[in-house]
Amino acid sequence: MRVHLVNPSDVSFGTAVITPRWLYVLAAATPRAFGTPAIADETLEPFDPDTVEAGDVVGIGIHTGNALRGYEVGGIARARGAYVVFGGIHSTLYPDEVRERGGAHAVVRGDGDLIWPDVLTDFAAGTPRPVYEGGKVDGESFLSARWDLLPEGKYMWGSVQTVRGCPKHCSFCSVWRTDGQKPRQRHVAAVIREIVELRRRGFRFVLLADDNFYPVTLGDLAAAERQASQSRLAALRTLREERFELMARLAELPGDMVFYTQITMEAAEDPEFLEAMRRARIRGALVGVESVTPEGLKAVFKNFNDAGEALVTRLQAFRAHGVHVLGSFIFGLPTDQPSTFDATADLAQRAGVSFAQFVMLTPFPGTVDFARWEATAAAGVTRKGVPLSRYWLIPSAQRPKVYSPHPLMSAEQIREGTQYVWDRFYRLAAIWQRSDCVRSMRSRLAFLLISKLYRQMYANTGIATDSARVTRSARRARWLAKAARRLFVTTPMPDLQEPASLRELRDSKRLAIRVVT
């Protein structure tokens, strides 16, 4: 019984930017008795069904965007006589659909870190259960990934998770509902140990793949003080101190290392935190700007963001501390107007945002928006014989790009406007102007290359309705990605040791770290 782990994707680029962490964490969770899992990441190359034999177990992780391809892989694996197990956010939300469409013998809901060995043991005994509840695993129990199984020369960045969950409640986001609002922070020593392992293998760029790297804001502390809630205040302070501890340890790692994370805009008001980020060489952060107007922010329950000039100031604060922002903007909010496209592109450039992504409002399952949309705009509507409220079951080339009627713009206007902003933000002259955030010519060229790659991978393959354009873009991205990879990886440091202060910290606190060797 061989174990296979598959990350499904409709498009393969040969080289990928970020290591898909879940594959290597589940590989670590696989007991040695079941051998080394075969890992297939379809963002690199399509899955080869011939590798699967009757009696094997095929684990497939899906989110809504790749669910349909995941079902295809599940069907193929089952037809070859394999046992099929699905996990991931989409499986957690729709276990019945996964069984019906993906040929699943079993579905894992929630975190797979601890329950995966039980799943495999049951399959080996011939007694699998239809559903396994993985729940929300404590930060202390997060597993380190099996980075020893990475294929050579395929990925640009390593990825490590330091915290799961987000205390916010944005209406378009499912993270706070699926991962919970209580931040589950991982031990500093476990995080650093894993990063050291990645650097030993030549990864100097590492994504801190967190839901929200800034789980405690100054506002949260002030509110707890006002409410004289001593226990809450103590818990928040502990979480915050652990963040500073982590950043202090990151600062001790080899000087060529660079980190990137995801954070809320409130961090811009916390100079002490930003300064610690600078020292830790956290050089980039994805910030969910979403909308440049107060009405737009209200529409997505994101009132804690700023709009207009205050927004420009906040975004510039990141840059002043050496943190480059990847701003994420949403188009198609009911409050948007035709002028919103230019206003957003202008603001992104003026605020010194280094990279940006422009997405069309999509109701994702598990979100507040989805529940509302499913009960109203999508009720009774079908496309290609599929209920609109199950749009992910429509082949991706025929899937609508806009899901709700807009009061002022047609779906095509929103799609064209979004494509226009991508084109405008990533035109050569604008990228070159933004590249002055780095010093050397080599760094400026790297900035240019990665900007073009980002656009090819995410704009042209996600927004375009023209399949020839998608194919061309995937081909260009394949070539660009191969060239870009050389700029990110470096000479391995196989003998790199953990920082001495970390060893002392671990000894003094007697931290229980789950280590997979």
Q: Which residue stretch of 33-41, 124-132, 163-171, 279-287 sits at the interface with ligand SF4 (rule: CB under 6 A)?
A: 163-171
Please select the residue that binds ligand SF4; options are 37, 102, 288, 332, rule is CB under 6 A. 288
Q: Which residue stretch of 84-92, 156-164, 173-181, 329-337 sits at the interface with ligand SF4 (rule: CB under 6 A)?
A: 173-181
User: Does 173 interact with ligand SF4 (rule: CB under 6 A)?
Assistant: yes
User: Does 166 interact with ligand SF4 (rule: CB under 6 A)?
Assistant: yes
Radius of gyration over every alpha carbon of the chain, rounded to an integer in angstroms: 23
Q: Which residue stretch of 164-172, 236-244, 393-401, 469-477 sits at the interface with ligand SF4 (rule: CB under 6 A)?
A: 164-172
User: Which of 462, 332, 495 is CA-nearest to residue 410?
Assistant: 332
Q: Which residue stretch of 72-80, 168-176, 313-321, 431-439 sits at the interface with ligand SF4 (rule: CB under 6 A)?
A: 168-176
User: Does 485 interact with ligand SF4 (rule: CB under 6 A)?
Assistant: no
User: Does 210 interact with ligand SF4 (rule: CB under 6 A)?
Assistant: no
User: Does 170 interact with ligand SF4 (rule: CB under 6 A)?
Assistant: yes
Task: Tell me how far, at minimum, the Cβ of 250 lies from ligand SF4, in Å.
Answer: 21
Task: Tell me how far, at minimum, the Cβ of 220 lies from ligand SF4, in Å.
Answer: 13
Please select the residue that binds ligand SF4; options are 175, 287, 378, 388, rule is CB under 6 A. 175
User: Does 297 interact with ligand SF4 (rule: CB under 6 A)?
Assistant: no
> Rounded to an integer, what distance in angstroms lies between the CA atom of residue 460 and that of residue 11?
12
Degrees, nearest 5: CA angle 337-341-346? 130
Task: Tell me how far, at minimum, the Cβ of 299 lies from ligand SF4, in Å.
Answer: 14
Number of residues in contact with ligand SF4 under rule CB under 6 A: 11
What is the maximum alpha-carbon separation in the chain?
A: 63
User: Does 211 interact with ligand SF4 (rule: CB under 6 A)?
Assistant: yes
* Residue 227, Cβ density class (10 Å: 0-12 exposed, 13-18 middle, ≥19 buried): exposed
361 or 484: CB nearest ligand SF4: 361
Please select the residue that binds ligand SF4; options are 101, 154, 168, 283, rule is CB under 6 A. 168
Cβ contact 104:81 at 8 Å: no
Helix axis angle, 467-488 to 441-454, nearest 10°: 150
300 or 450: CB nearest ligand SF4: 300
> Rounded to an integer, what distance in angstroms lies between the CA atom of residue 487 and that of residue 440?
13
For 158, phi then psi, to 5°, come to -80, 170
Please select the residue that binds ligand SF4; options are 15, 64, 185, 212, rule is CB under 6 A. 212
> Rounded to an integer, what distance in angstroms lies between the CA atom of residue 477 and that of residue 458?
10
Q: How many CB atoms are closer than 10 A to CB 121? A: 14
Task: Tell me how far, at minimum, the Cβ of 289 lies from ligand SF4, in Å.
Answer: 11
Q: Which residues pair with 85 in a beta bridge?
A: 59, 106
300 or 402: CB nearest ligand SF4: 300
242 or 369: CB nearest ligand SF4: 369
Q: Which residues in the 250-279 window bind ligand SF4 by CB under 6 A?
A: 264
Q: Which helix (H) or strand (E) is 360 found in, with range?
A: strand 355-360
89 or 173: CB nearest ligand SF4: 173
Q: Given phi > 0 = left and psi -120 to 50 = alpha, else beta, which region is 510? A: left
> Rounded to an integer, what distance in angstroms lies between the CA atom of residue 255 and that of residue 278?
12
Q: Which residue stretch of 162-170, 415-423, 456-464, 505-513 sits at the interface with ligand SF4 (rule: CB under 6 A)?
A: 162-170
Strand ranges (E), 42-165: 57-61, 83-87, 106-110, 131-135, 155-160, 163-164
> Rounded to an integer, what distance in angstroms lies between the CA atom of residue 476 and that of residue 327?
24
Cβ contact 404:379 at 8 Å: no
For 282, phi then psi, to 5°, come to -85, 95
Copy the structure tokens of residue 366: 């598990």
Task: Tell me how far, at minimum, the Cβ of 284 lies from ligand SF4, in Å.
Answer: 16
Helices (DSSP H) in 435-466: which residue ranges?
A: 441-454
> Rounded to an integer, what distance in angstroms lies between the CA atom of residue 486 and that of residue 343?
36
> Rounded to an integer, what distance in angstroms lies between the CA atom of residue 38 and that of residue 481?
24
User: Does 362 interact with ligand SF4 (rule: CB under 6 A)?
Assistant: no
**Residue 460 DSSP class:** I
User: Does 314 interact with ligand SF4 (rule: CB under 6 A)?
Assistant: no
Q: Which residues in the 436-455 window bind ligand SF4 by CB under 6 A?
A: none
Strand ranges (E), 367-415: 382-383, 386-387
Q: Which residues pair with 40 in a beta bridge?
A: 6
Q: Which residue stretch of 51-59, 111-119, 165-173, 479-487 sits at the interface with ligand SF4 (rule: CB under 6 A)?
A: 165-173
Task: Tell me how far, at minimum, the Cβ of 174 lies from ligand SF4, in Å.
Answer: 8
Q: Which residue stretch of 101-109, 170-178, 411-419, 500-508 sits at the interface with ligand SF4 (rule: CB under 6 A)?
A: 170-178
264 or 357: CB nearest ligand SF4: 264
Task: Tell me how far, at minimum, the Cβ of 363 lies from ligand SF4, in Å.
Answer: 14
User: Which of 287, 290, 326 is CA-nearest to residue 307?
Assistant: 290
Task: Tell me how far, at minimum, the Cβ of 169 lies from ligand SF4, in Å.
Answer: 6
Binding site for ligand SF4 (CB under 6 A): 166, 168-170, 173, 175-176, 211-212, 264, 288
